[in-house]
Amino acid sequence: MEQTGEPLDRVARIQADWRRERPDVDVSPQGVIGRLHRLAGRLTEELCLVYGRYGLGEGEFDVLCALRRAGEPYERAPGELAAHTMVTTGAMTKRIDRLERAGLVTRRRSADDQRGRIVALTGPGRELIDRAFTDHMHNEGRLLDLLTPAEAASLEALLTAWLGRMEHPGAAGAG
């Protein structure tokens, strides 16, 4: 059994084992889910190599990117940062603490709500994330270059549709 002329990969071998041991169970979903899971792990490893060059973990990179994407004056409330990076506010506090110690962000009281806080990029933080993001985009491009442009476009369309249906199950076109 070969996929598109390629030798059996680890997922195909696992599926073959399960088909032998449990022929009563449809293991075809494993072909997509298993490969996506393995691919996500490999991609994360490759992406984290770039973050590490800048002394950042994946979470710190995400926070700095969320601040930089905010535009001038490059600041957001911690709750906004949590929403823009899809992490809990508790995890966000730890990331902000680390970035503040490194001199990449500052915290101050909100002018609108004295109980609230605002997190802002410092000059060195902006310089660092601009360099790191440029390197990150080159790295993502390198990884995507393993596909043809048509394959990449097709994969993006499929993943967009699937993710949309997962995040909004009742939306039109789902199902």
Give per-residue pLDDT as tens, 102-152. Answer: 999 999 987 776 567 899 999 999 999 999 999 999 999 999 999 999 999
More confident of the two residues 53 and 92: 53
pLDDT of residue 149: 97
pTM above threshold 0.95: no
Q: Which of 116, 108, 120, 111 is nearest to 70 (CA)?
A: 120
pLDDT of residue 72: 96
DSSP string computed for the chain? --BTTBPP-HHHHHHHHHHHH-TTS--THHHHHHHHHHHHHHHHHHHHHHHHHTT--HHHHHHHHHHHHT-TT-EE-HHHHHHHHT--HHHHHHHHHHHHHTTSEEEEE-SS-TT-EEEEE-HHHHHHHHHHHHHHHHHHHHHHTTS-HHHHHHHHHHHHHHHHHHH-TTSTT--
For all residues of the chain together, what is the average pLDDT?
A: 91
pLDDT of residue 91: 85
pLDDT in tens, 22-56: 999 999 999 999 999 999 999 999 999 999 999 99
